[in-house]
Amino acid sequence: MRIQRKKKETPLSHSLEGISLEQMCREKLHHIGNGHFENPWNPLDPRTLRDVIRWKMERNTSYRRLPKEGPPPVYPVDLERIFKGSLTVTYIGHATLLIQIDGIVLITDPVFSDLSVYLRRKIHLPLAKRTLKGMVQGILISHNHYDHFSLKARRYLRNKTFIVPVGFKRYFRSKKFPYPICLDWFDSFIFKGLRITFLPTQHWSRRTLRDTNRTLWGGFLIEGSSGSVYFGGDSGYFHGFRELGQRFHIDIAILPIGAFAPRWLMKTVHLSPYEAVKAAIDLKAETMIPCHWGTYQISEEPLLLPIRLLKRIKQNLAPPLEIVPLMPGETYEFKEHTDP
């Protein structure tokens, strides 16, 4: 029997009690008609110009007292190290990472330039774009916000395979671009021997005033013979992380930690460093790698505060997983732990 949609204003505990995250997705409860999407467990009000004005007028003065700081150090990418192991992750900046599994190189949310004249990129690329283009075989796009989906990067990488959320064909209508692989939540696609599954996150989408939530958003699970990597894109903390951890085996969780302030504006759509660690534990990941920090000043907190907080959590709380705070350009090589 088909699940009936409940009223969107009804809390999850009452309207969707007993329904698993996967069942919601299989029943397509996130499709709300007229080509729009929502988080069925927690429908979000789109951010408006009024919200931005309120944020600018109510800037948190406690952050102003913190000492000013520059961007993080950038290290040249060690190309040999990327292929030294059978599973490596290299941080390029913000949500852009190189994931190498079984010799196949994927790039997540490639953005190489300024977001606008007001939102400049704070760090340079740790490797040449030409070199990057020659390495990459597939591109994963989590959602259409400007800091995750760049039309310039799309043009530069146009001969590669794009794996994107449903609704993204609108950005590939030109004959210059092959159609992308569009995935809905819990859809899987086999790419060069890797299984890539698109999974729900708690977020939203918009590029113009007229296209709010007309493309889907989410994260990716990449599974190969050498291990598995979860890339979380953008998300607020939600119960789905726990369900995904029970449903899938995840070796490495790449999770966003920045753009978390002010919390009244960001809490439902962006993880704080503390919530990111909690999400990684929920996912039962062996290793957590942070992203979405140190590249663009798009929120209230200082540029390096997210990574400083994460390092403090790692040192003081000793959570039950390995936390690897990569600097831009650094590479992590995953080595599966075996019992003695």
Does residue 16 fall inside a structural domain? no
Model confidence pLDDT, tens digit, residues 199-248: 999 999 999 989 999 999 999 999 999 999 999 999 999 999 999 999 99
Does residue 10 fall inside a structural domain? no
Does residue 22 fall inside a structural domain? no
Model confidence pLDDT, tens digit, residues 112-140: 999 999 999 999 999 999 999 999 999 99
Does residue 147 fall inside a structural domain? yes
Of all residues in the chain, the percent with pLDDT exceeding 90 is: 79
Does residue 206 fall inside a structural domain? yes
Count the Cβ atoms, other than its own, within 10 Å of residue 302. 16
Does residue 41 fall inside a structural domain? no
Does residue 161 fall inside a structural domain? yes
Does residue 300 fall inside a structural domain? yes
- Please count the structural domains in the chain: 1
pTM of the model: 0.92
For the record, the structure tokens of 100 come out as 């190498």
**What is the span of the domain harbouring residue 205?**
73-331
- CATH code, 256: 3.60.15.10
Model confidence pLDDT, tens digit, residues 304-326: 999 999 999 999 999 999 999 99
Rounded distance, CA 312 to CA 178, Å? 45
